Amino acid sequence: MTHVSRRILMKGTMAAAGLALAAPFVSRTGFAAGSSGTVNIFAWAGYISDEMLAAFEKDTGIKPVYTPYGTNDELLNQMRASNGSGYDVIWPAVDRVPNYVEFGLIQPIDEKKVLWDRVLASALKGSETLGAVIDGKRYQVPTDWGTEAITFDKNTAPLEYGTASYGDIWKPEMAGKATVRGHSGLVGLGLWMEAQGTLPKPMRDSFKDEATMRVNYDAILVEAIKNKGNIAQFWSNENEAQGAFRANGVTIGQTWDSSAAGLAKEGLPVGFVAPKEGALTWMEGVSIPVGAANVEQAYAFLNWVLTPEAGALYANHTSINTTAVGAEKFLSEASQKFFAAAYPGDALEKLWWWPVQENWFVALRNEYQDKFLSA
């Protein structure tokens, strides 16, 4: 979101800027010649503002139709049900892209149609190993990245970077005052246990094979169930996470950055900070379904989202970090302050990037989540 993130995000990958790329088909303005028609966008709830929709249509002549969803699983299930049709643009997390490729739901990116110099080189290079490139083919262009970390009430549960921990959620004094998402709450708890030396194997190894995953998750589940009384409400989408703080007496939680930022914009005394174990970090981007009916318009939307102005509109609206080169020039003061407070010191160097979540892992992850929720 700021020049700081550009310097540190996936440090050492700037060599990607020297890659030779084919000339794009688009005009010098970044949009297809004679742009018109419609583009059907299926993206996260709250990601695209009315201002963005109006600006895109004004800039391109293309009418955007935006349909929101709440979770990665909702998106995948919808795409599977429709065999990859009904939408021209989808917005999955990069670590879930292999799921769509396995089921034949998205098409390889036509690299001649993308204005690559608009994408942060570090994000582009980093996405290759996070799930965007499979068997040498790219299936997603990164547009944004963000985190899941600690949201807290500044008055009743103040936290500071360096001491703030996932473990704070599970302390006895937080009984009935916390919120987590089922499956990622277990990961945060696992990272705390790893730091305490009580996790059987490194948390990241859980994503490599079923045997290691079960060994770790069996231990995590015992700890989670023992302290389940801390959880006043579970969340699965943005509205639920925010509602926990607004209406259900929650003072601490593991939520998305955008959830905390939205509460702060409402005037609530809510802070957001990376824990010392590292903020859970995801990257997302635009993919094109195999059944897209308006492919040229989909690429026009992709290239537009990566303009500095559009990237800043997105970041200011969501408080999620854009990968658009030059967007920091247009960021609001509030966005810059939120970022600085969330990731002070060496927080950006400690980001814990989600590994690829293959279908076998997602199935087991959901199994353990269900055990936790029903305990």
The pLDDT, as a whole number, for residue 21 is: 31
pLDDT (average), residues 177-201: 98
The pLDDT, as a whole number, for residue 36 is: 80
Using 50, 70 and 90 to split pLDDT, how confident is the model at 18? very low
Using 50, 70 and 90 to split pLDDT, how confident is the model at 6? very low
Maximum distance among all Cα pairs of the chain, rounded to whole angstroms: 62
Element (DSSP H or E) covering residue 147: strand 141-153
For 233-287, the pLDDT digits (tens) are 999 999 999 999 999 999 999 999 999 999 999 999 999 999 999 999 999 999 9
Using 50, 70 and 90 to split pLDDT, how confident is the model at 31? low
Using 50, 70 and 90 to split pLDDT, how confident is the model at 33? very low
Averaged confidence pLDDT in the chain: 91
The pLDDT, as a whole number, for residue 69 is: 96
pLDDT (average), residues 191-210: 98
Q: What CATH number was assigned to the domain covering residues 3-145+282-349?
A: 3.40.190.10
The pLDDT, as a whole number, for residue 16 is: 31
CB 128 within 8 A of CB 141: no
Strands 178-181 and 288-289: unpaired
The pLDDT, as a whole number, for residue 35 is: 62
Domain limits, the chain: 3-145+282-349, 146-280+354-374
The pLDDT, as a whole number, for residue 91 is: 97
DSSP code per residue over 35-76: --SEEEEEEETTSS-HHHHHHHHHHHSPEEEEEEES-HHHHH
pLDDT (average), residues 280-300: 97
Which homologous superfamily does the CATH classification assign to the domain defined by 146-280+354-374?
A: Periplasmic binding protein-like II (3.40.190.10)
For 314-348, the pLDDT digits (tens) are 999 998 999 999 999 999 999 999 999 999 999 98
- Whether residue 122 is predicted with pLDDT greater than 90 in this model: the reply is no
What's the number of CA atoms in the CB half-sphere (13 Å) around residue 308?
A: 9
CB 310 within 8 A of CB 324: yes
For 39-95, the pLDDT digits (tens) are 999 999 999 999 999 999 999 999 999 999 999 999 999 999 999 999 999 999 999
The pLDDT, as a whole number, for residue 1 is: 37
Q: Running DSSP on this structure, what letter comes out for residue 293?
A: S
- Whether residue 19 is predicted with pLDDT greater than 90 in this model: the reply is no
Bin 197: left if φ > 0, else alpha if -120 < ψ < 50, else beta.
left
Give the rounded percent of residues in the chain with a pLDDT score beyond 90: 89
Do the domains spanning 3-145+282-349 and 146-280+354-374 agree at the CATH topology level?
Answer: yes
pLDDT (average), residues 291-306: 97
- Whether residue 27 is predicted with pLDDT greater than 50 in this model: the reply is no
